[in-house]
Amino acid sequence: MSDADRWQRFHPLTPLLKGGVATVAVIGWVVGQQVDRVFGAAREDPTRGNWGPAAALVGLVVVVVVIAAWATWRVSRFRLGDANLEVHTGLVFRQQRRVRYDRIQAVDVVRPLLARLVGLSEVRVESGGGSDSNVQLAFLTDATARGLRDELLTLAGHGDEAPAARGPEDGIPSREQAHGDTVLRIPNARLVQSALYSVEAVLVVLAVPTLALAVLLEWPAVLTAVGPVTLAVGARKVGQLVRWFNFHVTDSGESLRVRHGLTDLRTSSVPRHRIQAVQLTQGPTWRLPGWWRLDVNIAGVGGGEEGTATTVMPVGTFAEAERLLAILVPGVDRDIVAEAATSTGPGPSRRFVASPRRARRLDPVGWGRSGYAVTPRAVVTRAGAVVRRVQVVPHARIQSMTVSQGPWERRLDLAVVRLVSTVGAVSPLVEHLSTGDALTLFGEQTARSAAARTAVDPSEDRPEAPPARSPDGS
């Protein structure tokens, strides 16, 4: 196959959809004018009888816009090269972008509302290095988009991990795994309920009678002070709800696929071998129903748009969290994680190393929860009495470690240990350990992480690195 015929164009409706909002507005305006005319409410003719020139001008603008859009569409194209995804866009400001397959971190299929109506999708390719390095392939038919996503994931996978390094389930080619088992499906009723069980909901509930009263008693000051805030808080919560609607997670072997959204259907994939740390959180209002939220750090995917790519469970029971956790961090000790959710001090199994009692001077409420436990695969940290938090960091994924101690901590002989992960929603740390315990963790964890790093086949992470180690290490 020659190079030329591997170039692909986007769907011809692309320019129309990209100018989607503008198109809808213009059509709406024209329709509105016609309706006015039909019902006889039209004001005087704005062209003052000069119908011909006005029509010609409008026609000219339309023709120019259409030609420009068509030309832009003609020059925009992409192809899957030997080692890169290549994308050319722009008519006047031309841009050529290449993304190496082995730098691809995640591939999402996004379907904005208008595109969804005509059965089109956008493929979003995220590579390491912030939002500038992302590539949007818009728009393609749904089937093409899904195929392209699978193909890119396969190419990225081949570039990134030797096929032999994977588990025994490898017989199945990845494209057939693409539509895997549903691991988690969150009922919409629960999403609504969880939105009600929040501080924002309480505020809105308190604010509504106040506003009603203000209207009745004619207090404009109260209305202007409370009204916009209530509206903003409410709208934000509703926006979140709309985004998380129809949330479900499927397991396709190499990655988890997260789909959600009421108006904009979003599909993001979470490559399993890039997961760096996992965090479970539970606010005070979720204590009663026993709900948790699950966030992950993924290498190369920073905290971009508000938790979209990194929240794998917006609200779920502990059992559901455990199920996801078993996939995200295989072989994690479930008992310890369950214990970390609620225990204080050394915990029922006495495997937790917790803050000493003197730490209550620095953290009078949460000191008893602060602590960590070591499992064969990962460190499990525990914190927070009001907002409970559990973090799981695989030994092999710790980037570096820091022990720090300020003057107040030194007087109490306490120290903080940070298990530095990549950028993301989770920043693992254990606060207020006794200095001795902190140094034990620091020292032992260094050795554990080193052992775990060498145990992991280097080819799984980075094939270009030679697996051979020089014997003397220098």
Partner 1 sequence: MLRQTWGMTADTGADIGDVGLFGEGGARWQPVSPRLATARCIVLWGCLLFVATVAVVLAVTVDRWWWWAAAAGALALGVWATWLVRRQVAAITWAELPEDLVIRTGRLFRRLVSIPYGRLQYVDLQSGPLQRRLGLASLEMHTASPESSGVIPGLPVRVAEDLRERLTVRGESQRAGL
User: Which residues of the shown chain bind partner 1 in the complex (CB under 8 A)?
Assistant: 274, 276, 299-300, 396-397, 399-407, 410, 415, 418, 420-423, 427, 435-436, 438-440, 442-444, 446-451, 453-454, 456, 458, 461-462, 465-466, 469-470, 473-474
Taking the complex as a whole, the smallest distance from the CB of residue 449 to partner 1 amounts, in Å, to 7
Residue 291's H or E segment, with its range, is strand 291-298
Which residue lies nearer to partner 1 by CB, 166 or 175? 166
Which residue lies nearer to partner 1 by CB, 264 or 461? 461
Which residue lies nearer to partner 1 by CB, 289 or 330? 330
Taking the complex as a whole, the smallest distance from the CB of residue 101 to partner 1 amounts, in Å, to 16
CA distance to 145, 240, 343, 388, per residue, from 361 (Å): 57, 38, 20, 20
Give the integer Cα–Cα distance in Å for 283 and 292: 8
Taking the complex as a whole, the smallest distance from the CB of residue 167 to partner 1 amounts, in Å, to 19
Query: Greatest CA separation found in the chain?
Result: 92
Q: Which amino acid is at 140?
A: L
Owner of token pair 């170039």? 7
Provide CB contacts within 8 A for 400, sequence distance 6+. 420
Taking the complex as a whole, the smallest distance from the CB of residue 467 to partner 1 amounts, in Å, to 9
Which residue lies nearer to partner 1 by CB, 80 or 420? 420
Which residue lies nearer to partner 1 by CB, 304 or 458? 458
Taking the complex as a whole, the smallest distance from the CB of residue 7 to partner 1 amounts, in Å, to 32
Taking the complex as a whole, the smallest distance from the CB of residue 437 to partner 1 amounts, in Å, to 10
Residue 405 in contact with residue 418, Cβ under 8 Å? no
Owner of token pair 């992470």? 461
Which residue lies nearer to partner 1 by CB, 223 or 401? 401
Which residue lies nearer to partner 1 by CB, 52 or 407? 407
Pick from 333, 370, 377: nearest CA to 353: 370
* Angle 125-129-131 from CA coordinates, rounded to 5°: 60
309 phi and psi, to 5 degrees? -85, -15
Give the integer Cα–Cα distance in Å for 407 and 415: 10
Taking the complex as a whole, the smallest distance from the CB of residue 383 to partner 1 amounts, in Å, to 18
Taking the complex as a whole, the smallest distance from the CB of residue 410 to partner 1 amounts, in Å, to 7
Taking the complex as a whole, the smallest distance from the CB of residue 414 to partner 1 amounts, in Å, to 11
> Residue 67 corresponds to which tokens in the numbers above?
């030609």
Residue 418 in contact with residue 428, Cβ under 8 Å? yes
31 phi and psi, to 5 degrees? -60, -45
Give the integer Cα–Cα distance in Å for 133 and 151: 20
Which residue lies nearer to partner 1 by CB, 81 or 159? 159
> Residue 178 corresponds to which tokens in the numbers above?
């693409």
Taking the complex as a whole, the smallest distance from the CB of residue 397 to partner 1 amounts, in Å, to 8
Taking the complex as a whole, the smallest distance from the CB of residue 440 to partner 1 amounts, in Å, to 5
56 phi and psi, to 5 degrees? -65, -45
Within 10 angstroms of residue 46's Cβ, the number of other Cβ atoms is 9
Within 10 angstroms of residue 51's Cβ, the number of other Cβ atoms is 10
Q: Which amino acid is at 424?
A: G
Which residue lies nearer to partner 1 by CB, 116 or 273? 273
Which residue lies nearer to partner 1 by CB, 183 or 277? 277
List alpha helices for 329-361, DSSP H.
334-342
> Residue 215 corresponds to which tokens in the numbers above?
């209207």
Which residue lies nearer to partner 1 by CB, 47 or 446? 446
DSSP letter assigned to residue 134? -
Pick from 282, 262, 271: nearest CA to 309: 271
Pairing of strands 84-89, 95-100: antiparallel
